[in-house]
Amino acid sequence: LFTDGSAGPQGSGIGIVLVTSSNRRIEKALKLKFYATNNETEYEGILHGLDLVLTLGAEELAVYVNSLLVANHYNKTLRTTGKMVDYAALVEDKMKKFKHATISYLPRQENRHCCHTGRQ
Protein backbone atom coordinates (compact mmCIF):
# COMPACT_ATOMS: atom_id res chain seq x y z
CA LEU A 1 0.00 0.00 0.00
CA PHE A 2 1.40 3.37 -1.05
CA THR A 3 -0.21 6.52 0.29
CA ASP A 4 0.25 10.26 0.00
CA GLY A 5 -1.54 13.31 1.32
CA SER A 6 -1.52 16.96 0.36
CA ALA A 7 -2.91 20.16 1.85
CA GLY A 8 -2.95 23.60 0.33
CA PRO A 9 -5.04 26.66 -0.50
CA GLN A 10 -7.13 24.64 -2.96
CA GLY A 11 -8.04 22.05 -0.32
CA SER A 12 -6.76 18.75 0.95
CA GLY A 13 -6.54 15.39 -0.76
CA ILE A 14 -5.14 11.89 -0.54
CA GLY A 15 -3.86 9.33 -2.97
CA ILE A 16 -3.78 5.58 -2.47
CA VAL A 17 -2.20 2.89 -4.63
CA LEU A 18 -2.60 -0.73 -3.59
CA VAL A 19 -0.44 -3.27 -5.41
CA THR A 20 -1.77 -6.76 -4.71
CA SER A 21 0.29 -9.93 -4.47
CA SER A 22 -0.85 -10.74 -8.03
CA ASN A 23 0.49 -7.32 -9.15
CA ARG A 24 -2.96 -5.80 -9.67
CA ARG A 25 -3.10 -2.04 -9.04
CA ILE A 26 -6.00 -0.35 -7.32
CA GLU A 27 -5.75 3.44 -7.37
CA LYS A 28 -7.87 5.92 -5.49
CA ALA A 29 -7.76 9.70 -5.10
CA LEU A 30 -10.03 11.58 -2.70
CA LYS A 31 -10.57 15.22 -1.93
CA LEU A 32 -11.13 15.68 1.79
CA LYS A 33 -14.25 17.60 2.75
CA PHE A 34 -12.55 19.38 5.64
CA TYR A 35 -9.48 21.53 6.19
CA ALA A 36 -6.48 19.38 7.08
CA THR A 37 -2.79 19.95 7.63
CA ASN A 38 -0.21 18.03 5.60
CA ASN A 39 0.36 15.64 8.53
CA GLU A 40 -3.38 15.04 8.88
CA THR A 41 -3.69 14.27 5.16
CA GLU A 42 -0.86 11.74 5.44
CA TYR A 43 -2.76 9.97 8.22
CA GLU A 44 -6.05 10.20 6.33
CA GLY A 45 -4.37 8.51 3.36
CA ILE A 46 -3.17 5.61 5.48
CA LEU A 47 -6.55 5.22 7.21
CA HIS A 48 -8.46 5.14 3.92
CA GLY A 49 -5.91 2.73 2.48
CA LEU A 50 -6.14 0.42 5.49
CA ASP A 51 -9.93 0.39 5.21
CA LEU A 52 -9.60 -0.64 1.55
CA VAL A 53 -7.15 -3.44 2.33
CA LEU A 54 -9.22 -4.70 5.25
CA THR A 55 -12.32 -4.76 3.01
CA LEU A 56 -10.40 -6.95 0.55
CA GLY A 57 -9.54 -9.39 3.35
CA ALA A 58 -5.75 -9.23 3.20
CA GLU A 59 -3.88 -10.79 6.11
CA GLU A 60 -0.46 -9.27 5.47
CA LEU A 61 0.42 -5.74 4.48
CA ALA A 62 3.38 -3.48 3.83
CA VAL A 63 2.55 0.24 3.90
CA TYR A 64 4.90 2.79 2.35
CA VAL A 65 4.53 6.46 3.26
CA ASN A 66 6.52 9.52 2.28
CA SER A 67 5.94 11.02 5.72
CA LEU A 68 8.85 10.35 8.02
CA LEU A 69 6.73 11.70 10.88
CA VAL A 70 4.00 9.09 10.35
CA ALA A 71 6.47 6.23 9.91
CA ASN A 72 8.35 7.26 13.06
CA HIS A 73 5.12 7.58 15.05
CA TYR A 74 4.06 4.07 14.10
CA ASN A 75 7.50 2.57 14.70
CA LYS A 76 7.73 4.38 18.06
CA THR A 77 10.94 6.24 17.20
CA LEU A 78 9.19 9.59 17.61
CA ARG A 79 6.75 10.59 20.33
CA THR A 80 3.24 11.38 19.12
CA THR A 81 1.72 14.63 20.38
CA GLY A 82 -1.40 16.77 19.95
CA LYS A 83 -4.03 15.76 17.42
CA MET A 84 -1.63 13.22 15.92
CA VAL A 85 -2.13 11.02 19.01
CA ASP A 86 -5.67 10.20 17.86
CA TYR A 87 -4.58 9.53 14.28
CA ALA A 88 -1.69 7.32 15.41
CA ALA A 89 -4.03 5.33 17.68
CA LEU A 90 -6.47 4.74 14.81
CA VAL A 91 -3.68 3.53 12.53
CA GLU A 92 -2.26 1.26 15.21
CA ASP A 93 -5.71 -0.23 15.88
CA LYS A 94 -6.28 -1.02 12.19
CA MET A 95 -2.76 -2.40 11.74
CA LYS A 96 -3.39 -4.90 14.56
CA LYS A 97 -6.11 -6.51 12.42
CA PHE A 98 -3.47 -7.99 10.11
CA LYS A 99 -1.42 -11.08 10.88
CA HIS A 100 1.67 -9.16 9.79
CA ALA A 101 1.88 -5.48 8.85
CA THR A 102 4.58 -2.84 8.60
CA ILE A 103 4.82 0.87 7.86
CA SER A 104 8.00 2.09 6.21
CA TYR A 105 9.21 5.48 5.06
CA LEU A 106 9.72 5.78 1.31
CA PRO A 107 10.85 9.18 0.04
CA ARG A 108 8.57 10.64 -2.63
CA GLN A 109 11.31 10.61 -5.28
CA GLU A 110 11.80 6.85 -4.75
CA ASN A 111 8.11 6.00 -4.93
CA ARG A 112 7.39 4.70 -8.41
CA HIS A 113 3.81 3.68 -7.58
CA CYS A 114 2.13 6.65 -5.97
CA CYS A 115 0.35 9.26 -5.99
CA HIS A 116 1.52 12.78 -6.39
CA THR A 117 -1.55 14.59 -5.13
CA GLY A 118 -0.61 18.01 -6.32
CA ARG A 119 2.56 18.84 -4.40
CA GLN A 120 5.56 19.73 -6.47
Domain count, the chain: 1
**Does residue 82 fall inside a structural domain?**
yes
User: Which residues, in sequence order, are CB contacts of 45 under 8 Å at separation 6+?
Assistant: 3, 4, 5, 14, 15, 16, 65, 115
Would you say residue 62 lies in a domain?
Answer: yes
Q: What is the pLDDT of residue 114?
A: 62
pLDDT for 2-36, tens place per residue?
Answer: 999 989 888 999 999 999 989 999 999 999 999 99
Give the neighbor-by-neighbor strand order of the sheet with 60-65: 25-31, 11-19, 2-8, 60-65, 100-105
Looking up residue 18, the CATH number of its domain turns out to be: 3.30.420.10
Position 117 in a domain: no
One digit per residue, the tens of pLDDT, for the chain of length 120 reads 999 998 988 899 999 999 998 999 999 999 999 999 999 999 999 999 999 999 999 999 999 998 999 999 998 888 888 889 999 999 999 999 999 999 999 987 776 666 554 443
Query: Distance (Å, rounded) from C-alpha 118 to C-alpha 116?
Result: 6
Q: Domain range holding 101?
A: 2-110
- pTM for the full predicted model: 0.87
Cα 27 from Cα 5, distance rounded (Å): 14
pLDDT at 111: 66
Indicate whether 103 belongs to any domain: yes
64 in any annotated domain: yes
One-letter amino acid identity for 69?
A: L
